[in-house]
Every structure is written in C-alpha cells, then in structure tokens.
C-alpha cells in the first residue's frame, strides 16, 4: 500500500492540488484500492456535508420568500418569527435600495397623491420614516421579485433590449421615453411586482436632485398600460398628466 | 444573499432564533460601519466576516465566553428540518453539532458556500493553512465516522476564540 496522508487526499478531493500532483495521486489511486476507498469515503463525507448545508439554505429561502410573497389584504404575514424576520428583511432591503439608488418613497399605481413637482430628496423622506422604517422597507421590499434581479445590468444601456425585456414582463409593448431634452438621462429599468402583477420601473437622473421614476402596470387590455410618474424636471416642462410610458401595437 | 447570511448566523450560534437575532444586530452594525467596507473585497466575504466579528465581540462581553459557544443539539438539528420533517441527515447533523463553532463555519464556508481557503480564512480571521488543517482533521474524522472506521486521534491543534495575531504560540 502506498502511503498518502489524509492531508494530501483531502487536498486532492477539494481540488487544491496542482495538475501535476493531481495526476500523480490519480495514478496511485488506480493501483491502490485501499487509498481509493479512502478517497471515496472523503468524497462521500463532503457530499453529505454539502447536502446538509443545502437543507439549511432551503429552509432560509422558504422563510424569506414567505416574507416577500405578494401581500394579501394589504398586510404581510410571515410564517415563523414574523417580527424578527421583517426587521432583518427590512434592513437588507434598506441596504439594497440605498445601493440601487431608489427614489423614496415609491409611487404605486392607484395609490398615493398626485405627482410631485420635484423629485423627492431620498434622505429627507427616509428621515420622516425613521420611526417606522422597518415597515416602509418591507413595503418596498415586497415590490421586488425574481424578475427584478433577472434583468441583467449589462443590458441596461441598450434601450431596445430593455424595452424588449419589459415587454416580456408586462405582456405589452412599452416605448421607453427619451427625456434627454428635458435634462434626464436614462439609467435603467427594472421589473417589480405589485398585487401579484408585474410593475415596470424606469429610472432617470437629472443633473441634480433625486431620481425621476416612471411606473407602468398592465391595464385593462392586452396592450394597455397604466402609468404614473414620480418627479418632474425642474423646469416643469413635462405636460401635466402626460403619459410618459405608452403602449403600442 | 440574505438566506446565505442567515444560514451562516444559524450555523454559528446553533439555533434559528438566535441566528436571526445575531444577524439583525450584525446588519445594524454593518450599516453603521459601512465605511469599513473596502473596494475589491467581495461583499459576501465582508458580510460573513462582519457577522463573525460581531459574534466574537459579543462573546467577549460574557464572563464565561466558552459556555456561550455551546449549542443545544436538538435546536441545532431543527436547522436541518423543513416544515417539521425529521432530521435531514442525523449522523452528519450530530457530527456538526459536536464541533466547535469555528470548525462548523469552516465546513460551511468551504463546502456549503464554495469559498477558497483564502476567502474562508479572511472571513474567520485565520491563515489559509489553518483552514486547510481544520478541513483535513474534520474531513478525516467525518469520513471515519460515516464509514465506521476507528477514528484517528485528534490532532494537537489549539484553537481559541481570538484572532491569529492575538494568539500565543501553540
């Protein structure tokens, strides 16, 4: 029997050896059944460890997906440890939203007041909600869906590709408005969801101030979108009530 | 990434509710100390490391920190249950439950998360060689147990709760 230490065998099983060393170990294993059995035992142990850790992760993902599921009757109900989970999800959502440069608060179709004259200052709005930030963060988090993260950032510079992705998500054919003339640069679009229905968000930035966000949901027909705008350019040149995200056949 | 962070915290403290508490406190600490994040560091590596450092920090505040690291086997086993099912793999769960926290995390980071030894060492504030040494010892022990082979005697490696640079010579 050739003497190969557990140290070398574990490194081999973990793929930590150089190619030359790997080949040398494989040659030994071909000729030594005892060592081959030991390697199989190590691989088997690792596979069971991986499966055990996967089982934990599956449980955690079920908890998180239960928290971020579409709301029913306007409230969120978690299955286990509701308050703690909401608090943690709120923190994570706040981190994510801050990193993503979200406008705040979000505008929802059919909810809230009329469009504001200027983009809201995110920090000021967040400060107003400090007492109840977890609830606000959870509400915002509930708008996120798998599709939000599945729209690749690398495609965001391509208007046509973004429009195509939104058309697949919304089931209609949106035309993304170009607001360069109004001083707003297109940054990105993403798919949210509200009440189980997809909600498109298109984000622009002007030279200063918070982001300008356009929102659209599928409306009454197969090619009809309901729109809402949050924020205007500082000169107020967008027509009052003008539909900025439109559907076309 | 949140489920991964939660799993890390759960495996560290050995129970779902305690893990949730630790994760919440660590996330608040991360928000407050986000300036410590350095560009070029993987966000997950940084976040896992912050949770671990937060746990260590809290542990040092206890009069008997070693007692705080002991976990309840039954509650640890619940981590591996889905909706009240039986334990996923009782021998492996029992084995993991008997390991010190740092060794559980080493296994999680390398075999659960797929980190390189260097990243796992950065998270746990030890050298990659220490990660390798832990894996050899634990893997051999688990393989012995699962294949019912007589376990090899434990290696004489002393591990503490404190970072490498604060540790005395073994």
Give all domains of chain B, ordered by start, each with its CATH number: 2-161 (1.20.140.160)
Question: Quick one: closest CA in A to B2, which residue?
Answer: A92
Query: Any idea which of A1-5, A66-70, B85-89 has the lowest mean pLDDT?
Result: A66-70
A17 pLDDT higher than 50: yes
The pLDDT > 70 percentage for chain A reads: 49
Dihedral sign computed on CA atoms, order A38, A41, A45, A51: positive
Among residues B118, A70, B100, A87, the alpha carbon closest in space to that of B109 is found at B118
- Mean per-residue pLDDT, A97-121: 40
- Which pLDDT belongs to residue A98? 45
* The dihedral sign for the CA sequence A55, A58, A60, A66: negative
Residues 82-121 of B with CB under 8 A from A: 82-83, 88-89, 92-93, 96, 107-108, 110-112, 117
Give the pLDDT confidence score for residue B86 in this predicted structure: 57
Kindly state whether B155 is in contact with chain A, defined as any CB-CB distance less than 8 angstroms: no
E strand or H helix that includes residue A247: strand A246-247
pLDDT score for A223? 47
What does the alpha-carbon distance between residue B80 and residue B77 come to, in Å, rounded to a whole number? 6
CB nearest B146 (choices: A45, A94, A95) = A45
Its pTM stands at 0.52
Q: Which is more confidently placed, A131 or A109?
A: A131
Residues A108, A194 contacting (CB under 8 angstroms): yes
Give me the mean pLDDT over the B11-34 stretch: 87
Q: Which residues of A84-112 are buried (b: 16+ CB within 10 A; e: fewer)?
A: bbbbbbbbbbbbbbeeeebbbbbbbbeee
Q: Which two tokens stand for residue B170?
A: 């073994």
CB pair distance less than 8 Å for A51 and B16: no
d(CA B21, CA A88): 9
Q: Residue A51: its pLDDT value, please?
A: 86
Which two three-digit tokens encode residue A49?
């460890």
Tell me what pLDDT residue B125 has.
Answer: 92
Of the pLDDT bands very low, low, confident and very high (cuts 50, 70, 90), residue A90 is low
Spatial contact of B137 and A9, defined as CB atoms under 8 Å apart: no
At residue B104, the pLDDT reads: 92
Which tokens in the block code for residue B83?
A: 């909706």
pLDDT band at A120 (very low <50, low <70, confident <90, very high): very low
For residues B62-71, average pLDDT: 76
| Element spanning A35, H or E | helix A33-67
CB < 8 Å to B7, chain A:
53, 56-57, 60
Average predicted confidence (pLDDT) for chain A: 65
pLDDT above 80 for B12: yes
Contacts of A4 in chain B (CB under 8 A): none
> What secondary structure, in 3-state letters, does chain B show?
CHHHHHHHHHHHHCCHHHHHHHHHHHHHHHHHCHHHCCCCCCHHHHHHHHHHHHHHHHHHCCCCHHHHCCCCHHHHHHCCCCCCCCCCCHHHHHHHHCCCHHHHHHHHHHHHCCCCHHHHHHHHCCCHHHHHHHHHHHHHHHHHHHCCCCCCCCCCCCCCCCCHHHCCCC
**pLDDT greater than 70 at residue A163:** yes
Q: Is the ipTM reported for this complex over the cut 0.90?
A: no
Average pLDDT over residues A214-241: 50
Buried b (16+ CB within 10 A) or exposed e, B28-63: ebbeeeeeeeeeeeeebbbbbbbbbbbbbeebeeee
Tell me, what's the pLDDT at A203?
80
Please, which residues bridge with residue A226 across strands? A217
Q: What is the pLDDT of residues B96-154, one digit of tens each?
A: 988 999 999 999 999 999 999 999 999 999 999 999 999 999 998 999 888 865 555 55
Please tell me the predicted confidence (pLDDT) of residue B159.
52
Per-residue model confidence as pLDDT tens digits over A186-197? 787 777 777 777
What is the arithmetic mean of pLDDT over A79-92? 48
pLDDT tens figures, B44-53: 898 999 999 9
| pLDDT of A240 higher than 50 | no
Of B20, B81, B108, the CB nearest to A88: B20
The pLDDT of residue B63 is: 75
Q: What is the dihedral of CA B141, B142, B147, B151, to 10 degrees?
A: 20
Dist. CA A108–CA A120, nearest whole Å:
15
CA B35 to the chain's CA centroid: 25
């Amino acid at each position: 029997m050739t003497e190969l230490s557990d140290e070398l065998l574990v490194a081999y099983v973990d793929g930590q050896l150089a190619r030359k060393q790997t080949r040398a170990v494989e040659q030994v294993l071909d000729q030594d059944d005892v060592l081959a059995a030991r390697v199989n035992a190590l691989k088997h142990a690792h596979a069971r460890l991986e499966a055990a850790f996967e089982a934990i992760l599956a449980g955690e993902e079920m908890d998180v997906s239960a928290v971020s599921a579409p709301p029913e009757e306007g409230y969120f109900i978690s299955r286990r440890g509701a308050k703690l989970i909401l608090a943690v999800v709120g923190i994570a959502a706040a981190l994510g939203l801050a990193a993503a440069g979200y406008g705040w608060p979000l505008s929802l179709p059919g909810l809230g007041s009329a469009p504001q004259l200027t983009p809201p200052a995110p920090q000021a709005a967040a400060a107003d909600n400090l007492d109840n930030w977890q609830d606000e963060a959870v509400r915002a988090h509930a708008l996120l869906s798998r599709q939000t993260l599945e729209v690749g950032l690398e495609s965001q510079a391509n208007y046509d590709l973004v429009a195509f992705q939104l058309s697949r998500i919304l089931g209609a054919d949106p035309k993304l408005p170009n607001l360069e003339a109004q001083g707003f640069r297109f940054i990105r679009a993403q798919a949210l969801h509200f009440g189980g229905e997809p909600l498109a968000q298109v984000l622009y930035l002007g030279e200063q101030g918070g982001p300008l966000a356009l929102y659209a949901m599928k409306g009454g027909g197969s090619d009809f979108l309901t729109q809402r705008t949050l924020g205007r350019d500082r000169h107020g040149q967008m027509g009052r009530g003008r539909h900025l995200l439109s559907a076309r056949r | 990434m949140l489920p991964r962070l939660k799993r890390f915290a759960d495996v560290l403290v050995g129970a779902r509710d305690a893990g949730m508490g630790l994760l919440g406190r660590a996330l608040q600490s991360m928000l407050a100390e986000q300036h410590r994040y350095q560009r070029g560091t993987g966000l997950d590596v940084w976040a896992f490391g912050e949770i671990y450092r937060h746990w260590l920090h809290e542990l040092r505040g206890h009069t008997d920190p070693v007692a705080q690291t002991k976990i309840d086997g039954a509650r640890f086993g619940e981590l591996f249950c889905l909706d009240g099912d039986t334990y996923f793999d009782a021998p492996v769960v029992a084995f993991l439950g008997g390991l010190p926290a740092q060794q559980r995390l080493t296994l999680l980071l390398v075999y659960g998360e797929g980190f390189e030894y260097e990243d796992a060492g950065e998270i746990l504030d030890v050298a990659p060689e220490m990660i390798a040494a832990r894996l050899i010892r634990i893997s051999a022990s688990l393989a012995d147990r699962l294949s019912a082979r007589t376990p090899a005697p434990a290696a004489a490696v002393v591990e503490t709760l404190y970072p490498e640079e604060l540790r005395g010579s073994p």
